[in-house]
Structure 1
Amino acid sequence: MTYNAGGYGPAGPPPPGYPAPGYPGYPPTGYGAPPQYWQPPGYAPGYGAPGYPPQFGLPPVIKPGVVPLRPLTLSDIFNGAVAYIRTNPKATLGLTAIVVIASQIVALLLSLWPFAFTGQVASTLDGDEASTEVLVSWMASSLATAITTGLSTTLLSGLLTVVIGRSVFGADITIGEAWRRLRPRLWALIGFTVLKTLALIVWFGVVLLIVVLVVAVIDGPAAFLIAAPLVLASILAAVWVSVMLTFAPAVIVLERRDIVTSVKRSFALIKSDFWRVFGIWLLAAIVAQFIAGAVSIPFSIGGQAVLTASATTTAAMISMVLFSVGGAVGQIITGPFSAGVTVLQYTDRRIRAEAFDLVLQTGAAAGPQAPADSTDDLWLTGPR
């Protein structure tokens, strides 16, 4: 008579190949339970009968915040970029709304300047040739608007980088604390943005000059055959450099490096995985533009309707207000998402290239009782 593991009763004959009673390793006569190391036939060591969990297995993935601390998939990155907005809306949507609305108001006032201080706007809208005064005013206001928008975008991306750097560990952060963390790195971040913009302007300026010279010297189809590949190559080169610099702002803010070192660091992280970074970057940009365009459609239709109904200065000003409101709403919704994707891509590259998940897990091991800013210095690890 045999008994299941853990049963009781009189001792039965030993299983085939099992030592006989009285030999070392066999339970004394009178005990029906087999020894602890005995396994039912047909099951691998460490596993019991069906329906019982295995005794051995992989450790669970640590996820203290918006993403698991392991190499991230595309869904991890996109879900994390949405999750950190949902878990801390005041420091994401609220912060974005403050920065975007303030910048849009300044940009709108600068854009309305030619309309408010020139008396020839109505005639220009009717199709008459614009005067020098209108053109100069428009160019000045456009330049000031571009500068304002660029500075606000830089400030917003830096603040959101601080927010999502905390969200990786599940820690909240206030708007004031995010500003205090960013403030020492703000000028480096602005300097990087200015240098990057100037480099792109100079690059395309040189390409445009070469194209003009080619067209002036070589006439006909030959000029097109030279100019077209040159323009295409310049665009591809600009895209490649832009992608390779994607992580530089995150490095400036989270690793607290200078501009030159941050640029080198971004190149070093991306060069071995360019196509994956580019694909996620492009997909995130398409998603953000689609959402921003969708939410701004009602405002764009309203602005176009006002311009169509009346080609006056007042109508032009109302339409510009509607366009600005639509743009602000789209940016408030998509700005945090785009910033989140960038920082999580940066985190993923450090995990894959430097086993950075082990460093992040040391911060997660402290638990929710640890101070919220105790994990900020973990981003400083890595080759310097």
Structure 2
Amino acid sequence: MTYDAGGYGPAGFPPPGYPPPPGYGPPPGWQPPGYGAPGYPPPYGGPPVLKPGVVPLRPLTLSDIFNGAVAYVRANPKATLGLTTIVVVAAQILSLVLSLVPFTFTDMVADGLGEDEASVQVIVGWVASSLAGGIATALAATVLAGMLTVVIGRSVFGAGITVGEAWKRLRPRFWPLIGFTVLKMLVFLVGLVLVVGIIGATGALTTGVVAFAVAIPLVLAAVLAAVWLSVMLTFAPVIIVLERRDIVTAVKRSFTLIKADFWRVFGIWLLAAIVAQFIAGAVSIPFTLGGQIAFSASATTASAMLAFALFAIGGAIGQIITGPFTAGVSVLQYADRRIRAEAFDLVLQTGATAGPYAPADSTDDLWLTR
């Protein structure tokens, strides 16, 4: 075997660091230029992604968002499931009491009025009490989502929080959050009244065929507008809590963040809603069947009360399971949009560099904007 004059090895092989000639295998220890020493991984792909909490601090994928919405519950069950149970049970009890009020006075009303008048009064009272119960449930859900937003904001950095601390953080933002919810409900109510009024006026002034022809596209347009507005307002409660903004500014900022990536936000929002409804419906099936059986068994006040109680229990269990997940998806979608639109991951990484020994509330101000 002959060697090159330079002492680089067998004749025909180039100096170290260069690829072997065609038809020859690489000499021992040879690596392409730019690679590290033997035994170390090649320096491609960049540094590892920082993940101090429930999600990596980079643009989030669908799996990141859904997994994070479940992981923060597992990381802090007392402040999520415990808090959700307290709020949901209280709201369901209030809603149940309001729904049962008309049945409590059914016999009294029937004694003092004729049967037709009693029926009308009971129906009106039932509708009014159900509406009041729905409003109470919506307000309770808003408070719950606000407190869970605080929990998720800490969970992104791997920090825990108690129920008392979550309420302390939410308390200054409580009334703006309630005000936003009331205004949102009023907007949807006014839209509903307008649609019903237009259809009713058309039916009174024209024939039923014309009213039907007007109602179909009008209802479809109203549904699409309601869905669009719901999606565009998704981040407003989160902004009110984490960025500590007023209602008007939060609404404008929610529109600004979402309009550039509406379809992605809408797709994740819709998928999360479908998953939540499927799970809630599945866990409440036994109680729903029991309530329907109680209704059909006998037309008495006691059976109606039992049916409503079973419906309320099933609804409460479904909300306890799905409430934290839905809130988690909203907050993590908001964080993802800020990362994509504002390079917010760099801000989050500065907070994560403090490490696990930093005060838990030291990262709360990172969510603020100028």
Q: TM-score, normalised by structure 1?
A: 0.86
Distance 1:220 1:313, change over 3 A: closer
Displacement of 1:179 after TM fit?
0.2
Match of 1:190 in 2: 178
**Contact map agreement 1:71 1:352 (CA 8 A) in 2:** yes
Deviation at 1:346, TM superposition (A): 0.3
Q: Which residue is equivalent to 1:297?
A: 285
Q: Is the 8 A contact 1:122 1:311 kept in 2?
A: no
Please say if 1:236 is aligned against 2:230.
Answer: no
Q: Work out whether residues 110 and 118 of structure 2, in 8 Å CA contact, stay in contact via their aligned partners in 1.
A: no
Match of 2:244 among 233, 252, 256: 256
Q: CA deviation at 1:205?
A: 1.0
Look up the SS of the partner of 1:335 in the other structure: helix
Structure 2 residue 154 is the aligned partner of structure 1 residue 166: yes
1:99 corresponding residue in structure 2: 87
1:107 partner amino acid: S
Given that 2:159 and 2:360 are in contact with CA atoms closer than 8 Å, whether structure 1 keeps it comes out as yes
Q: Secondary structure at the match of 1:131?
A: helix
- Are the equivalent residues in 2 in contact too, given 1:350–1:356 (CA < 8 A)? yes
8 Å Cα contact 1:246-1:266 kept in structure 2: yes
1:271 aligns with 2:267: no
Aligned to 2:7: 13
The correspondence for 2:32, drawn from 43, 54, 60, is 43
Note the C-alpha offset of 1:318.
1.1
Normalising to structure 2: TM-score of the pair? 0.89
Check the 8 A contact 1:120/1:134 in 2, yes or no: no
Q: Which of 131, 137, 144 is the matching residue for 1:156? A: 144
SS in 1 for 2:234: coil
| CA distance, structure 2, for counterparts of residue 351 and residue 122 of structure 1 | 62
Partners of 1:122 and 1:185 lie apart in 2 by: 47
Identify the residue that residue 48 of structure 2 maps to in structure 1. 60
**Residues 267-313 of structure 1: CA distance to partner in whole angstroms, max 9, x if unpaired?**
00000100000000000000000000000011111112222222211
Alpha-carbon distance in 1 for matches of 2:194, 2:124: 24
Q: Which has the larger radius of gyration?
A: 1
Segment drifting more, 226-235 vs 257-266: 226-235
Aligned-pair identity (%): 70
Q: Work out whether residues 202 and 210 of structure 2, in 8 Å CA contact, stay in contact via their aligned partners in 1.
A: no
Give the whole-Å Cα distance in 1 for the aligned partners of 2:290 and 2:31.
Answer: 74
Aligned residue in 2 for 1:22: none
1:331 equivalent in alignment to 2:325: no
Q: Which residue of 1 aligns with 2:66?
A: 78
Query: Number of residue pairs matched?
Result: 352
What does residue 36 of structure 1 align with?
Answer: none
| Partners of 1:247 and 1:266 within 8 A in 2 | yes
1:189 deviates by 0.3
Between the aligned partners of 1:163 and 1:93, the Cα distance in structure 2 is 11
User: What CA RMSD, in Å, does the superposition of the two structures yield over aligned residues?
Assistant: 2.5
| Aligned match of 1:288 | 276
Residue identity opposite 2:273 in structure 1: A
Give the match's secondary structure for 2:50: coil
Note the C-alpha offset of 1:207: 1.8
Structure 1 contact 103–152 (Cα < 8 Å) conserved: yes
3-state secondary structure, aligned to 2:260: helix
Q: Which structure 2 residue ranges, 5 or more long, are not aligned? A: 17-27
Q: Give deviations 1:181-210, integer Å, cap 9, x for gaps.
A: 000001000000000100111112112211
Residues in 2 aligned to 1:118 and 1:329: alpha-carbon distance in whole angstroms: 30
Question: How far apart, in 2, do the equivalents of 1:88 and 1:188 lie?
Answer: 26
1:353 to 341, 345, 349: 341
SS at match of 1:119: helix
Distance (whole Å) between structure 1 residues aligned to residue 183 and residue 359 of structure 2: 37
- The alpha-carbon deviation at position 144 of structure 1 amounts to 2.0
- Shift of the 357–148 alpha-carbon distance from structure 1 to 2, 3 Å rule, reads same
Change (3 A) 1:194 1:173: same
Distance 1:101 1:70 in 2: 37
Rounded to whole Å, the distance in 1 between the matches of 2:95 and 2:167 is 23
The runs of 5 or more residues in structure 1 that have no matched partner are 3-10, 20-38
1:65 counterpart SS class = coil
Give the 3 Å change call, closer, same or farther, for CA 304–17 of structure 1 in structure 2: closer
* Inter-partner Cα distance in structure 1 for 2:73 and 2:302: 38
1:371 corresponds in structure 2 to 359
**Alpha-carbon offset, residue 41 of structure 1:** 4.8
Aligned-pair distance for 1:122? Answer: 10
In 2, Cα distance between equivalents of 1:208 and 1:113: 28
| Cα distance in 1 for residues equivalent to 2:110 and 2:306 | 14
